[in-house]
A and B are shown apart, each in its own frame.
Chain A
């Protein structure tokens, strides 16, 4: 009669992606020990993970609630343009960041309203806003990159940050901190429980008095907000607002969640898993580049791994 069994099971569910992560890590460490196993390279990997990682945390909530958000890549681009334009006009950095986050949240709110109030299935609703947000970004930027003064903000994604005791870019600390907060939100709050309940069985949630529409809108706003933050980080990395950036990034984000144990039928998924998934993808990309594997092989590899991860998950849940 141990009440800890499910916690153990959840830990085991995390083991799969984590073991995969170790495996890829070990593989590249063996193939290219000098360049792969350097502190500088670790910092590179971690920095590369931030954008997909932030997006994946928001996407985790969406996928756990049984939805999908295809607009994430476009929102990253839109928000990077928004912050660049505002900084260029001389707005103070905190306000510009706030405005970019607001833009992301707004797209999320539109997604949520389309899905709940007008009953458009999430795939289609966010496919629509994916195009709209991308087009809007191009319009605002005049179809070109927006240069902007990025003092202060650029340091967020610097591989050698100031002050030096930070060791890695502030963006990475921010991502890790948010990961802890959001993991607790998903497992330990009324909102998180309601999100899981909707994904597990929407009819039950409604019957239990969960205000389904309200929770779903919040979930998409959260996802938009985090995608907006990813856009700010993208700007910090490139120091330009690029309306064509992060094209197809939503698929990497979804892949990270799925590799981390999220199920598109809703109800399952975890923040920790999604972060592992995000690291998995950037280690793979980084290692392949170092070893000199051509880009197309990388793509085939990632595609294969997604399928294997999900097949493994199916197999595990069937044997339960």
Chain B
């Protein structure tokens, strides 16, 4: 792939990426969230089409041919298979049925299982796991085994390039070892493997070569053996554009929210644990970490959307008992979901309805709504946040991402929340809207709100937050002043890499924090 470019509206997701992957190697593709890895892989697998650039793919005679997949189906036909973080198997079907799904051999519509059995057995042998019986139901397999079945499926469809997106994020350490064995076996078999992961130490163990993406371009590529972890982290983090954050000194007020050591009971394996944590008025506390590290689960459990197994959340000045979102909102808490489309907003409802849904009371008398009052409030907030609209009654689905996000934020303002939980407040919005969101977060903190903010984008946390804590594999580390962190340190802590000097800066920060208290 050479000079690949892809724009989404005003956002340049890929801005000239080069990637060369050879047959018989494991190639690591690394970069921060939003660096363009997923977009690049979507171009490779035919889900997106590149605006510019050349793609070439070796055919079965190892001759390079121009390659322009029009659809994922097209790409699969050409021998490119994707294996996503969320597995795509049908749990009610057997291993064999899953591996052969869509390609069953049949005569007059009747499945010829015996013929398929041969292919399935061969595919399972190739990954060295004949121990997975082809008649077992997929739902009875462990998630590690399911992943192996997914790889076998790719092999059964004659894939010559297999892309694995965060394959180890839900695996135990022994499963990780087993997976890398399988990958090395396939590599020696001549398969080209692209391995995307944030866990740099694992990447270093399994991959032969690497390519680092940053801000949609290739910044570094080479042999894994000659690169150190520090090299990789530096390449990932190095910034070309300095962004302006509105962070000035803010006065910290009284305690607004207290967490006793907290553990969630959300779906295995993503349990989130947090140490004792205190958030004050006028403070922005940032939570860094990788996607899937438990940050969202933590926020959701604080807001009462996920069950808490142990520990306690105390909202200072609470009026309502209970841990439901209803009680939390009554107690002045507000939550901005990372999943705007599926949770944050009701797409078919209007701007006005979405904006006021969490607090209809001031617009109602004995349950009857005053539409005039609601519309007036909506206009006020929509103007304050400069939400670009035709009409406050237009469905939010017709707004751009940035404006949708502003509606979700406006809802928190209208709700007059004092403690704001913001999950990825700037995800998927354009640069200008981002700047406006930063301004608002700063203004809210200045007005004495307590803000807990999750972000995958560390410069944003460094620029916006007073204190930052990093979440890694379900554990939230200690909160330290933002000035005690560097981007490299956040990345290292998030990917679980122990770096030289990590211990020392930990102690340093502790001292620093004590002096602030």
A interface residues, Cβ below 8 angstroms from B: 1-3, 5-7, 184, 188-191, 193, 196-197, 200-201, 203-211, 267-268
The answer to whether A210 and B391 have CB atoms under 8 Å apart is no
Given the known interface contacts A201-B343, A201-B346, A207-B305, the answer about A1 and B391 at a Cβ–Cβ threshold of 8 Å is yes
Contact with A along B369-390 (1 / 0, CB 8 A): 1010001000000000000001
The answer to whether A209 and B326 have CB atoms under 8 Å apart is yes
CB A90 to nearest CB in B, in angstroms, measures: 38
Candidates B303, B330, B342, B349; contact of A196 at CB < 8 Å: B349
A6 contacts across to B, CB distance below 8 A: 350, 391, 393-394
The answer to whether A190 and B367 have CB atoms under 8 Å apart is yes
B329 contacts across to A, CB distance below 8 A: 208-209
Candidates A5, A7, A189, A267; contact of B346 at CB < 8 Å: A267
The chain A residue with its CB closest to the CB of B393 is A6
A5-B394, A6-B394, A207-B344 are known contacts; what are 5 more A-B pairs with Cβ within 8 Å? A3-B391, A204-B345, A208-B329, A208-B357, A211-B324
Contact with A along B73-115 (1 / 0, CB 8 A): 0000000000000000000000000000000000000000000
The answer to whether A5 and B391 have CB atoms under 8 Å apart is yes
A196 contacts across to B, CB distance below 8 A: 349, 353
Confirm or deny: B480 has a beta carbon within 8 angstroms of a beta carbon on chain A.
no
A211 contacts across to B, CB distance below 8 A: 324, 326
The answer to whether B353 and A207 have CB atoms under 8 Å apart is no
CB B343 to nearest CB in A, in angstroms, measures: 4
Q: Enumerate the 3 nearest inter-chain pairs by beta-carbon distance, A residue then B residue, closest first.
A: A209-B329, A208-B358, A201-B346
The answer to whether A190 and B369 have CB atoms under 8 Å apart is yes
The chain B residue with its CB closest to the CB of A317 is B348
**Interface hub of B305, B326, B328 (most chain A Cβ within 10 A):** B326
A191 contacts across to B, CB distance below 8 A: 367
The chain A residue with its CB closest to the CB of B364 is A190
The answer to whether A2 and B368 have CB atoms under 8 Å apart is no
The answer to whether B367 and A203 have CB atoms under 8 Å apart is no
CB B363 to nearest CB in A, in angstroms, measures: 9
CB B275 to nearest CB in A, in angstroms, measures: 26
Confirm or deny: B45 has a beta carbon within 8 angstroms of a beta carbon on chain A.
no
- How many angstroms from the CA of A168 to the CA of B346 in the assembled complex? 42
Given the known interface contacts A3-B391, A208-B329, the answer about A197 and B353 at a Cβ–Cβ threshold of 8 Å is yes
The chain B residue with its CB closest to the CB of A203 is B343
Confirm or deny: B399 has a beta carbon within 8 angstroms of a beta carbon on chain A.
no
The answer to whether A209 and B348 have CB atoms under 8 Å apart is no
CB B377 to nearest CB in A, in angstroms, measures: 14
B369 contacts across to A, CB distance below 8 A: 188-190, 193
- How many angstroms from the CA of A209 to the CA of B323 in the assembled complex? 11
Chain A binding surface, main DSSP class: helix
Confirm or deny: B335 has a beta carbon within 8 angstroms of a beta carbon on chain A.
yes
Candidates A197, A204, A267; contact of B343 at CB < 8 Å: A204
Between-chain CB contacts (< 8 Å), 23 pairs: A1-B390, A6-B394, A184-B368, A188-B371, A189-B369, A190-B364, A190-B368, A190-B369, A201-B342, A201-B349, A203-B342, A204-B343, A204-B346, A204-B354, A204-B357, A207-B335, A207-B337, A208-B329, A209-B326, A209-B328, A209-B330, A209-B358, A268-B348
* Size of B's binding interface in residues, CB under 8 A: 37
CB A10 to nearest CB in B, in angstroms, measures: 10
Confirm or deny: B325 has a beta carbon within 8 angstroms of a beta carbon on chain A.
yes
B411 contacts across to A, CB distance below 8 A: 208
A205 contacts across to B, CB distance below 8 A: 346, 357
- How many angstroms from the CA of A277 to the CA of B338 in the assembled complex? 40
Confirm or deny: B360 has a beta carbon within 8 angstroms of a beta carbon on chain A.
yes
B328 contacts across to A, CB distance below 8 A: 209
B360 contacts across to A, CB distance below 8 A: 190, 193
The chain A residue with its CB closest to the CB of B328 is A209
- How many angstroms from the CA of A206 to the CA of B392 in the assembled complex? 23
Confirm or deny: B1 has a beta carbon within 8 angstroms of a beta carbon on chain A.
no
The chain B residue with its CB closest to the CB of A191 is B367
A2 contacts across to B, CB distance below 8 A: 391
The answer to whether A210 and B326 have CB atoms under 8 Å apart is yes
The chain A residue with its CB closest to the CB of B352 is A3
B353 contacts across to A, CB distance below 8 A: 193, 196-197
The answer to whether B349 and A197 have CB atoms under 8 Å apart is yes
CB A286 to nearest CB in B, in angstroms, measures: 35
Confirm or deny: B137 has a beta carbon within 8 angstroms of a beta carbon on chain A.
no
B342 contacts across to A, CB distance below 8 A: 201, 203
- How many angstroms from the CA of A220 to the CA of B330 in the assembled complex? 26
- How many angstroms from the CA of A208 to the CA of B342 in the assembled complex? 13
Query: Which residues of B393-422 have CB atoms within 8 Å of chain A's CB atoms?
Result: 393-394, 411
Query: Which residues of B180-224 have CB atoms within 8 Å of chain A's CB atoms?
Result: none
A197 contacts across to B, CB distance below 8 A: 346, 349, 353, 357
The answer to whether A210 and B357 have CB atoms under 8 Å apart is yes
CB A208 to nearest CB in B, in angstroms, measures: 4
- How many angstroms from the CA of A203 to the CA of B392 in the assembled complex? 22
- How many angstroms from the CA of A27 to the CA of B348 in the assembled complex? 36
The chain A residue with its CB closest to the CB of B361 is A190
- How many angstroms from the CA of A267 to the CA of B360 in the assembled complex? 18
B344 contacts across to A, CB distance below 8 A: 204, 207
The chain B residue with its CB closest to the CB of A206 is B325
The answer to whether B349 and A200 have CB atoms under 8 Å apart is yes
- How many angstroms from the CA of A190 to the CA of B356 in the assembled complex? 11
A267 contacts across to B, CB distance below 8 A: 346, 348-349
